[in-house]
Structure 1
Amino acid sequence: MKRTRRFASLMAVTATVALLATGCSAANPGSDDDSSGAAAATWPEPTASLKGVTLTYWTATQTATMADKVIAAFEQQTGAKINKVIIPDVYETNAPTKLATGAKPDLATWQPTGSELALLKPATGLQNLDGAPWLAKQTDAVQNLGTVDGKHYAAFVNVPSTLGIFYNKQVFADAGITATPKNLDEFLADAKKIKAKGVAPIFGAAGDQWPTQWWPQVLLAEDSKAGLWDKVNKNEDTFEGSAILGAIKTYKSMLDDGLFNQDNATSTYNESGPALLDGKAGMVLQLTSFTSLLQSTADATTINDKIGWFPISKSGNVATSVPGGDNALVAFKTGDSAKEAAARQFLRFWLETDYPTYVKEADAVSLDPAVKTPSTVPQVAVDASDALADAAGSMQQNAVANPDFYVNLANMVNGKATPEQVAKVTQSQFAQIAKALGTSGF
């Protein structure tokens, strides 16, 4: 399954938040404790008859076909109809804007992070999924995600991505590296050994901008676990503070030391997979979904032979969790109790009845320990998914707002901004979005 990442712009996000705020009385019926909330919800049997019921399902261009086989099976077994609507890019902006006009689906794919769920006003706009029968079947790490204020609003259908290092085993061997690094200092030492062999230690893909944000984020893993993003959310710490600015400066020093491919400023994500497989670069820092890019040009056996994976952080090997838009669905409060129940039934069908078939056909790592991951899934995807259990939360997962950090960092890569300027403008953007969301302290 090919997975890509896109991000909404700051101006679009703040405008969307404003639209939802002014339109919430019409577009978001119900409240935390009303009769349509999950506290009083029933969970219909996955294959119960739904003849005459039509559900609307919104999804992004990148996830347009993800549920097709599940939908077909659900329609066949229940008699329901699912009307799939593909929202054009940028989905994270255009979907909330459409909601603010009064349009509303019954179900939608959505990035299950705090900052993205906040755009949907979950307390009034989404069904609370606490008590869903599939939750207890999923891994502990997944059960703790997709929540806002301690309540579940996202149903995970795919394992959330973690950030880590994909590396070429032969490049490591040629550089005399016999064990993966145990912290940043060891990582940098290994990168310099690879550079000495005439190979780019790291493939950066800054031409696409969004990959730039991953380096500062993995360098903040321990800080994240210590509550960094909670402090940033309360305006008790900022992007200009010692932790985040320090991570940006470390990333800048890696650039200055020539540890990235020479064409980093213009190279793209799609180029990074072939570069790693061909040994033109030793390492790529990316999401678990990078495995799909590798699979577009190599089979699982080749990937297992050539490519390995390990997490990296400043002081150790802590992975960083970044749930994506292909990971989960949300069910909306529409005011129609029959359709709300049918939406919950669809989620049960996907995550219980049809889940073994879905995992096999999607060639995906299983969220349910009782459902075996297909042998055709590359080991790097399994390793990255296993690291989720001890992963730190990313900015996307734990922060209340998602500023244009990656755009600002790309400017730094291109020599148009200093680390201090990146930190300052990102903090200004963060505060603007947080204020628009009504976050206390802003």
Structure 2
Amino acid sequence: MRPSRTRGGIAVLGTLLSLTLAGCGGGGFADSGAAGGGTGSIRMLVNVTPNLTQDFWDRLVAPFEKANPGVDVVIEAPSGKGVSDTLQQQLAAGDPPDVVETLMADPTLAPQLVDLTGEDWVKNTPLAQEASLGGKIYNVGVGEQAQSLVFYNKTAFTKAGIPTPPSTLDEMTQDLGKLKTAGYLPLQTSGDFATGLQLLQLTDPALAAATPAFYQDVRAGKTTVGKAMLPYLKLYQSWLDQGYVDKNALGLKYPDAETAFLQGKAGMFVMGSWFTASEAKAKKDFEVGVFAAPVSSGQKSPGAQGATMAAPYLIMKSTQHRDLATKLVHWLVTDQQAVVAQLKQDGNFRTGVQREFTPLEQQVQKILDAAPAKVAQGEGYGDSTLPRGFNSAWNTEVQGLYIGHSPETVADAVDRWVSAHAK
């Protein structure tokens, strides 16, 4: 997940879009659209990043255009701050695209989308059921981004006398101490979005085991985010106090944190599977390994893997070429060459799909295959969601630990935010 996808969960539509859609009034675009014919232009709004360039997208859809004479797939890069912002503008102008990549459906957006539940081919696409909303499938994706991963410096582990990666958070705490004694920064982090994201990623397996219906329990008032996360906030605070995490890390940008870890300055780095792409390009004098985020003592290991849908697609109900748009999306998420190209380009994974892997990517695929379940994290997706904007609010509050806020203060602030933004 790249920064424009917020890395802790794929970018979702925010308050401005809610207002825009509400302004459509009643049916709005939901009642328009048409099946269309066998030819025409399909507008596809996509995420453009250093990996996912305009040229990549053009080359990706070229075989589809060749196989379907008379069809022109028009790739649209974001004109605003990102896909979400651009779609808001297009909806307000009454000119939305046919297909949207990157965004996940939520209750506000769902009425504007084509329901894909009845399409047989969607059932085996990654996380389609997990991301369903009210039993309906609106999103289909190419693969998965593993979230709950801990990358580690194998040389540092050897020098610190750590024979095997930890499987529990208690063991991880002990290993952080050994790394510090060996002269390494035990755990690499940074400011930007990464501070709070890493804590979510790290605790996904333990949280899923302790509170299996976490999102539903929060909405039902059976627990609160702050109460559920307080033990992990206290643990993180102890790491700060013991110097296992740099107390000045908030001044560090995310790319610099990646660079610092890849220069061999730290023992561990919690991050999503997209980090494998950066690792593959880096020149370094040590080997990087990866293990599944630990669970709490007494829980089964490995735990559930925090995962998000990679390259999710939506079809706007307003399209005048619904059949062509559906055919395109079907091809994008099921054609072997198209799938492999997208997985490889952005460091994503899909069980059962073979592609050329780096050694580190092979390890990540094994972790995904071994995970007993895949769970949402942060704001979540489908029916497992917290109020939109949670990731950013959580990140801000977690960063408060660095300036003296107590774990209890942070937990209380998080609960007040969730309560104020709950619908």
Query: TM over 0.5: same fold?
Result: yes
Pairwise CA RMSD: 3.2
Deviations 1:90-111 (A, max 9, x none): 4334434542453321111124
1:433 and 2:416 aligned: no
* Structure 1 residue ranges, 4+ long, deviating more than 6 angstroms after superposition: none
| Alignment correspondent of 1:91 | 83
* Structure 1 pair 310–6 and aligned structure 2 pair: CA distance change class (3 A): same
Compute the displacement of 1:321 (Å).
1.9
Deviations 1:36-95 (A, max 9, x none): 8xxxx9xx9xxxx943x1111112333454533222222222131122222232433443
- SS of aligned partner of 2:21: helix
| Alignment correspondent of 1:107 | 99
Partners of 2:325 and 2:2 lie apart in 1 by 25
Contact 1:275 1:281 in 2 (8 A): yes
1:306 and 2:285 aligned: no
Deviations 1:353-382 (A, max 9, x none): 34365258637555261x312234732432
* Structure 1: runs of 5 or more not aligned: 436-442
1:70 and 2:60 aligned: yes
Deviations 1:388-437 (A, max 9, x none): 5523331232223232211221233233x3323322333333234332xx
Compute the displacement of 1:186 (Å).
0.5
Partners of 2:283 and 2:103 lie apart in 1 by 28
* Structure 1 pair 220–157 and aligned structure 2 pair: CA distance change class (3 A): closer
1:57 to 44, 55, 61: 44
| Alignment correspondent of 1:235 | 221
Corresponding letter in the other structure for 1:428:
R
* Structure 1 pair 298–333 and aligned structure 2 pair: CA distance change class (3 A): farther
- SS of aligned partner of 2:166: coil
Corresponding letter in the other structure for 1:147:
S
Identity level (%):
20
Compute the displacement of 1:137 (Å).
4.5
Compute the displacement of 1:216 (Å).
4.4
Partners of 1:64 and 1:126 lie apart in 2 by 26
* Structure 2: runs of 5 or more not aligned: none
How many residues of Structure 1 are paired with residues of Structure 2 in the alignment?
400
* Structure 1 pair 288–352 and aligned structure 2 pair: CA distance change class (3 A): same
Partners of 1:58 and 1:189 lie apart in 2 by 47
1:413 to 385, 397, 402: 402
User: Structure 2 matches for 1:393-408, cutoff 5 A?
Assistant: 393-397=376-380, 398-402=384-388, 403=390, 404-408=393-397
Partners of 1:220 and 1:136 lie apart in 2 by 25
Normalised TM-score (structure 2): 0.83
| Alignment correspondent of 1:244 | 229
Compute the displacement of 1:280 (Å).
0.7
Partners of 1:18 and 1:328 lie apart in 2 by 23
| Alignment correspondent of 1:367 | 350
| Alignment correspondent of 1:156 | 141
Partners of 1:419 and 1:93 lie apart in 2 by 34
- SS of aligned partner of 2:379: helix
Partners of 2:226 and 2:196 lie apart in 1 by 18
Corresponding letter in the other structure for 2:196:
T
Corresponding letter in the other structure for 1:426:
V
Corresponding letter in the other structure for 2:129:
N
Partners of 2:87 and 2:370 lie apart in 1 by 31
* Structure 1 pair 102–426 and aligned structure 2 pair: CA distance change class (3 A): farther
Partners of 2:418 and 2:85 lie apart in 1 by 16
1:328 to 312, 319, 331: 312
- SS of aligned partner of 1:147: coil
Compute the displacement of 1:212 (Å).
2.2
- SS of aligned partner of 2:386: coil
Deviations 1:115-158 (A, max 9, x none): xx216521x2111122434335446xx34332111221111113
Corresponding letter in the other structure for 1:154:
N
Partners of 2:188 and 2:304 lie apart in 1 by 19
Deviations 1:273-311 (A, max 9, x none): 333333210000111111122123249xx88x4333332
User: Structure 2 matches for 1:8-407, cutoff 5 A?
Assistant: 13-25=14-26, 27-30=28-31, 50-51=38-39, 53-62=40-49, 63-65=52-54, 67-78=57-68, 79-87=70-78, 88-96=80-88, 98-112=90-104, 117-118=105-106, 120-122=108-110, 124-138=111-125, 142-205=127-190, 207-216=191-200, 218-225=202-209, 226-241=212-227, 243-261=228-246, 263-298=248-283, 305-315=287-297, 316-323=301-308, 326-334=310-318, 336=320, 339-353=321-335, 354-355=337-338, 358=341, 362=345, 364-367=347-350, 369=352, 371-376=353-358, 378-387=361-370, 389-397=372-380, 398-402=384-388, 403=390, 404-407=393-396
Contact 1:162 1:387 in 2 (8 A): no
* Structure 1 pair 271–203 and aligned structure 2 pair: CA distance change class (3 A): same
Normalised TM-score (structure 1): 0.80
Partners of 2:398 and 2:303 lie apart in 1 by 22
Partners of 1:366 and 1:209 lie apart in 2 by 23
Partners of 1:389 and 1:102 lie apart in 2 by 44
